[in-house]
Each structure stands twice: as C-alpha cells, then as structure tokens.
Chains A and B, each alone.
Chain A
Amino acid sequence: AQSVTQPDIHITVSEGASLELRCNYSYGATPYLFWYVQSPGQGLQLLLKYFSGDTLVQGIKGFEAEFKRSQSSFNLRKPSVHWSDAAEYFCAVVKAAGNKLTFGGGTRVLVKP
C-alpha cells in the first residue's frame, strides 16, 4: 500500500525567509504527486503537481517542488514566505487517474513577522 510521510508537524519561519517542507512516499512505482494547502476554515487548494518529465515543478503562489526518485521525496520550497503563507500543507500521492489520493499527515506553517 502506498503511504506518505511528512516528518515535520510544525514549522515556524520568519516572514521573508525561505521555507522547505519535506515529503517522503512509499510506493512500488513512481506515483503522481501533489502538494495541497489548507488555510483555516478553507478547503484544500492545489499548489502543484508532478506527473513526469522535469523533476522541478513550479506551482502557484511562488511555490516549487522537486521530485527525487532516489530519495522517494517530493519536497516543497518557497524562497521568501509571506504572512499569508501561514497554513497547513499536505503532500499527497495517487497511483493512477480516477484513484484515491493518499495524504500525509500535514505540516502546519507559522509565519513570524
């Protein structure tokens, strides 16, 4: 069965500093990978996705993620965080179209002024 691990439950970062959120997956083949963001009281918004090709993918809101097959990782980065980036971030995998997403436990990001 596939699984997703987000090792960091909470991360606190200063506004303007860089951010990196870790995601590791366990799956027999290369899955399709996603990062979602959930602001308080909001639904899940897709930040970016990786299906194939270039292992560095760009998303919305200035986020990017890098797929590393050798490390089974798909880490999310942002060079300079804004106070509005405070939210919970979820990494997810799906093995094929029309299949369920398997989510990690999430990382809550707090932004200090």
Chain B
Amino acid sequence: GAGVSQTPSNKVTEKGKYVELRCDPISGHTALYWYRQSLGQGPEFLIYFQGTGAADDSGLPNDRFFAVRPEGSVSTLKIQRTERGDSAVYLCASSFSREYEQYFGPGTRLTVT
C-alpha cells in the first residue's frame, strides 16, 4: 500500500522567507510525527499529532515553527522568517496510535540560502 509521502522533496528558499512542508500519512494512521535531521546527525523530534491536535510540541525550536493537521490526516509544517540554520531534512512519520512502530516518509530537504 501507499507509504508516507512528503512534498516537496527539495525546497530552496532565501533567508527570511516563509515555507510550508507537507506530509501525507499512511491511510488510517492517527498519529503523525515531524522530525528534523541535520547533516551528519540523527533525526530530532519536533512535534507529534494525535488526530487533529498537537499532543506534544516540545521539540519545536522556537515560535517560527508551527504545524497543523486540521482534518486529522495531512499535516503541514510551517516555518516563518527562515534562517540558514533551518537547513535540514524534515522527516514525517505516522503510526497507529497504540503502536510503537513509526513509518517514515522520504523527507523534504530544505535549504535556506
């Protein structure tokens, strides 16, 4: 079946611009996660949704980062006033709420110039 999809696969933006990254989870998965992976590092947690609500947003680095999941399926990660330090691969994962396994998408590579 279809896995987690993320669009765009690559995004280049200028410092100070606004970007949106989209995640389409596996059908039926109620839990959705965003992670950020900087070069040479392991993924770091950003935010977790259970249904439409953010159950844990403790990983968001500052108030420039925001994510929504209005209908409990697709999620959008929004970054305002991008900085060069935001350059990374942004990974999305989904799971059934009572399962431990998370299934990852291919990621969006964000480059801020």
Contact = CB atoms under 8 A, between A and B. Distances in A.
A37 B71 CA distance: 31
B42 A90 contact: yes
Given A98-B48, A100-B33, A32 B100 contact: yes
B41 A106 contact: yes
B106 A98 contact: no
A97 to B, nearest CB: 5
Given A100-B45, A100-B59, A103-B42, A46 B101 contact: yes
A44 interface: yes
A80 B93 CA distance: 30
Interface residues of B, number: 29
Contacts of B45: 100-102
A103 B105 contact: no
B42 A104 contact: yes
A46 to B, nearest CB: 6
A97 B100 contact: yes
Nearest to B47: A100
Given A99-B56, A100-B56, A104-B42, 5 more contacts: A43-B105, A90-B42, A101-B93, A103-B43, A105-B42
Interface of B: 4, 31, 33, 35, 40-45, 48, 50, 55-56, 59, 91, 93, 95, 97-107
15 contacts: A45-B104, A90-B43, A92-B42, A94-B100, A97-B97, A97-B100, A100-B56, A100-B59, A101-B43, A101-B93, A104-B42, A105-B41, A105-B42, A106-B40, A106-B41
